């Protein structure tokens, strides 16, 4: 996805596919951007802009190119969605593991996406994948779900764009952009992938294994689920249903405030879990 500001202040949107053929070219999705000084995007419809007075603004649109944050009443710079405490800046920098503390507000909204799923994963540039109720694997592409002609039990999407899944035969598969390729391994239950494309799995026996590109390595722990964050941090739900984070490659640190966990995903700011009561909790 590429954004540009035209001389008349219109915000233009472009998008190409993996073959670098333009799918969306020069579509106007906003106006009134004449005062923008710098513009950058982190993917997923999220746009950050600084004005010449140093104010930092945040905007977000959904897959239908409808504004979710910002663009109130057609006035782009009327509300950027930031808390008042952010103030002004000239240049900012942030690592993947320490994102700006963006808080949900009344300007944020949920958008219903068609389909039903038993598992879902999201990657860079707004890519979304899911395993449907019939176990078919789908990719969200240009406003609709595309069937990837495979079935699976669990799916993982990494910050580097890698997509992996546990097939119905409980073997690992990796998406190459056009088809699924089987990787070595068997009797798998849960799966995720790190930013470098290394696969993490939990077997039916609750063993944790990591693929380094050449071979599998068993970790000294057991788990019910595994997740890898954008910065490469690894989180698991232990068989005691507590949350753990990998520290230094072999040591697991327990979250003393955790318990009753059923599954976990990993965001840039830390783990997000679903407990046995179907409640969603995020580490703050």
Q: What digits encode the pLDDT tens for the residues 226-259?
A: 999 888 899 999 999 999 999 877 889 998 877 8
Q: Give the CATH number for residue 135.
A: 2.120.10.30
Q: Which domain holds residue 53?
A: 2-86
79 shares its domain with 125: no
Residue 155 placed within a domain = yes
Work out how many domains the chain is built from and give that number: 2
Q: What pLDDT, on the 0 to 100 scale, is given for residue 216?
A: 94
Are 140 and 74 in a shared domain?
A: no
Lowest-confidence range among 48-52, 102-106, 279-283? 102-106
Higher-confidence position of 206 and 124: 206
123 and 18 co-located in one domain: no
Same domain for 257 and 198: yes
Residues 124 and 54 in one domain: no
- What's this model's pTM, rounded to 2 decimal places? 0.62
Q: What is the mean pLDDT of residues 266-279?
A: 81
**Same-domain check for residues 147 and 76:** no
Q: Are residues 277 and 136 in the same domain?
A: yes
Is there a single domain that holds both residue 75 and residue 140?
no
- pLDDT for the residue numbered 68: 56
Please check whether residues 153 and 271 belong to one and the same domain.
yes
Of 125, 238, 261, 121, the C-alpha closest to 191 is 121
pLDDT in tens, 14-41: 776 655 566 667 788 777 777 777 777 7
For residue 137, being part of any structural domain is answered with yes
Answer whether residue 195 is part of any domain. yes
Task: For residue 112, tell me if it sits in a domain.
Answer: no
pLDDT for res 161: 87
Nearest to 200 by CA among 248, 235, 151: 235
In this structure, the answer to whether residues 184 and 225 fall within a common structural domain is: yes
Residue 93 pLDDT > 60: no
Q: Do residues 46 and 141 share a domain?
A: no
Asked, for residue 104, whether it belongs to a domain, the answer is no
Kindly state whether residue 58 falls inside one of the protein's structural domains. yes
**Token pair 């070219």 in the structure block, residue:** 25
Q: Is the pLDDT at 272 greater than 90, yes or no?
A: no
């Amino acid at each position: 996805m590429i954004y540009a500001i035209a001389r008349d202040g219109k915000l233009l949107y472009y998008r190409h596919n993996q073959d670098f053929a333009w799918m969306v070219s020069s579509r106007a999705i906003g106006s009134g951007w004449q005062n923008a000084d710098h513009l950058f995007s982190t993917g997923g419809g999220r746009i950050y802009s600084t004005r010449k007075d140093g104010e930092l603004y945040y905007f977000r649109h959904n897959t239908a190119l409808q504004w979710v944050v910002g663009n109130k009443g057609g006035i782009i710079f009327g509300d950027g969605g930031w808390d008042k405490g952010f103030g002004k800046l000239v240049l900012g920098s942030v690592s993947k593991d320490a994102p700006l503390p963006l808080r949900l507000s009344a300007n944020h909204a949920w958008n219903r996406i068609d389909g039903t799923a038993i598992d879902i994963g999201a990657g860079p540039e707004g890519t979304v994948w899911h395993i449907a109720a019939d176990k078919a694997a789908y990719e969200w592409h240009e406003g609709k779900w595309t069937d990837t002609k495979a079935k699976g039990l669990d799916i993982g999407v990494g910050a580097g764009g890698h997509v992996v899944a546990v097939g119905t035969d409980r073997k690992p598969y990796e998406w190459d952009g056009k088809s699924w390729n089987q990787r070595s391994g068997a009797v798998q239950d849960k799966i995720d992938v790190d930013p470098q494309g290394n696969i993490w799995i939990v077997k039916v026996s609750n063993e944790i294994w990591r693929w380094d590109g050449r071979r599998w390595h068993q970790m000294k722990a057991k788990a019910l689920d595994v997740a890898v964050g954008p910065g490469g941090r690894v989180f698991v739900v232990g068989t005691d249903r507590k949350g753990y984070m990998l520290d230094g490659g072999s040591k697991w640190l327990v979250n003393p405030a955790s318990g009753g966990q059923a599954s976990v995903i990993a965001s840039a700011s830390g783990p997000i879990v679903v407990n046995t009561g179907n409640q969603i909790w995020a580490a703050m």
